[in-house]
Structure 1
Amino acid sequence: MGRVSGLSCLVTGAARGIGRAIGEALLNEGANVCFADVNGALAAEVAAANEARAEAAGGRAMAHAVDVTRREDMRRLVKAVADNFGRLDVCFNNAGVNKPMNFLDVTDENWQFIMNVNAMGVLIGIQEAARQMIAQGGGGKIINTASVASRQGFDNVAPYCASKWAVVSLTQSAARALAPHDITVTGFAPGVVATEMWEEVDRDLMNIGAAERPGQAMAEFSAEILRGRVARPSDITGTTTFLASRESDYMTGQIIMIDGGMTLV
């Protein structure tokens, strides 16, 4: 039996990167998983590619398109998961964006875009998942993706840092609010992870003059990692599966750092 056998899980931002890895790791341990993403077609490809994995472990995979900044989208997603799997046990609010800009160049539009997805999207995700969990009874787990940037500010990604600080605060507030309903709210904070998003950030930092060559930004951000290398998505999923499992039942309101020792707090 896997650690999450029989649990019905929802992962947003799951068409690639950390989100996809979270979903696949949950499938490996017997969960039912909905891969949700703003790119619904790509999410569907991921779910289809994991059908055999899911069947072998005793679970099921499905996909759904969602814009996490639109409450009606999130409501439809949560309902689809409950309708297909019978209930919602675990919700990962993982969808996130970044668009580096030098601090003095940050625009209203840049701030609003990042905060809407990374902060408002998490608030909506927590609320809609919690409403379903309360209605069905039996508690649940909500897990939010923070970042090393939730522990200190970086000059070229200020809105991103602010949005991830908001994730920490929302996690703590929701943990207090939802404890009477037997719903735990936790999160994890990755450092530098080799994903498509980091490749995009690397290009953006070059475009704004903060880096001169491909890979420079990742190398500089990674210089202080005690483990001596950047993370792979698979380095994250041991913790995320633990947070989704019954083994973490007594944990709530906490953010676990998974940054290889990049930031010691």
Structure 2
Amino acid sequence: MAINMRSDSSAKEFANLVAQTRRVLDIIVNNAGTINKNKKTWDVPVEEFDVVIDTNLKRVVNILSHFFPLIIERLAPYCASKWAIVGLSQSVAKEIPPNLAIDALSPAALFLSFEF
């Protein structure tokens, strides 16, 4: 599938395709890749400037707007529970004797597959 990430509709279509696979999306990398010819800003033609902005900025916004909902649905309860543990630990730290310590750890779940 060829995807034009400068196109909002292509980004949306790709996000829908990912959602339909029921795969877990773990990370979004905000990376884009075009540059104008080496000129002073005021010498860059408008069309060339538009290509840079459309690729490097709008592309990232397109991806974020369509893919973040796929991540947030899954992460919000987890993140809320971990922040609650941090808050609880900080509250308990104020209540315990000074020679004791408490800390909150939030290890990540890793699902690894090894084939031998």
Please indicate the TM-score interval, normalised by the length of the shorter structure.
Answer: 0.5 to 0.7
Shift of 1:85: 4.6
Shift of 1:123: 1.1
Instruction: Give per-residue Cα distances to partners, 1:133-155, cap 9 Å, x unaligned.
Output: 23xx222xxxxxxxxxxxxxxxx
Structure 1: distance between partners of 2:78 and 2:5: 24
**Residue number among 29, 40, 51 corresponding to 1:92 in the alignment:** 29
Shift of 1:91: 1.9
Asked whether 1:107 is paired with 2:66, we answer no
Structure 1 residues 91 and 112, CA gap change in structure 2 (3 angstroms): same
Structure 2: distance between partners of 1:79 and 1:97: 26
Of all paired residues, the percent bearing the same amino acid is 21
Instruction: Give per-residue Cα distances to partners, 1:12-71, cap 9 Å, x unaligned.
Output: xxxxxxxxxxxxxxxxxxxxxxxxxxxxxxxxxxxxxxxxxxxxxxxxxxxx42211211
Give the unaligned 5+ runs of structure 2: 80-107, 110-116
Structure with greater strand percent: 1
Structure 1: distance between partners of 2:48 and 2:78: 36
Radius of gyration: which is bigger? Answer: 2
Amino acid at match of 1:128: H
Structure 1: distance between partners of 2:26 and 2:74: 9
Shift of 1:76: 1.1
Asked whether 1:138 is paired with 2:74, we answer yes
Structure 2: distance between partners of 1:129 and 1:181: 18
Structure 2: distance between partners of 1:110 and 1:79: 31
In structure 1, the partner of 2:85 is none
CA RMSD of aligned residues (A): 2.7
Instruction: Give per-residue Cα distances to partners, 1:189-246, cap 9 Å, x unaligned.
Output: xxxxxxxxxxxxxxxxxxxxxxxxxxxxxxxxxxxxxxxxxxxxxxxxxxxxxxxxx4
Q: Secondary structure at the match of 2:29?
A: strand
Give the unaligned 5+ runs of structure 1: 1-63, 140-178, 183-245, 248-265
Shift of 1:114: 0.1
Structure 1: distance between partners of 2:49 and 2:71: 32
Q: Given that residues 36 and 44 in structure 2 are in contact (C-alpha distance below 8 angstroms), is that contact kept between their aligned partners in structure 1?
A: no
Structure 1 residues 93 and 85, CA gap change in structure 2 (3 angstroms): farther
Structure 1: distance between partners of 2:57 and 2:68: 17
Shift of 1:96: 1.7
- TM-score normalized by structure 2? 0.56
Amino acid at match of 2:74: G
Shift of 1:127: 1.2
Amino acid at match of 1:114: V
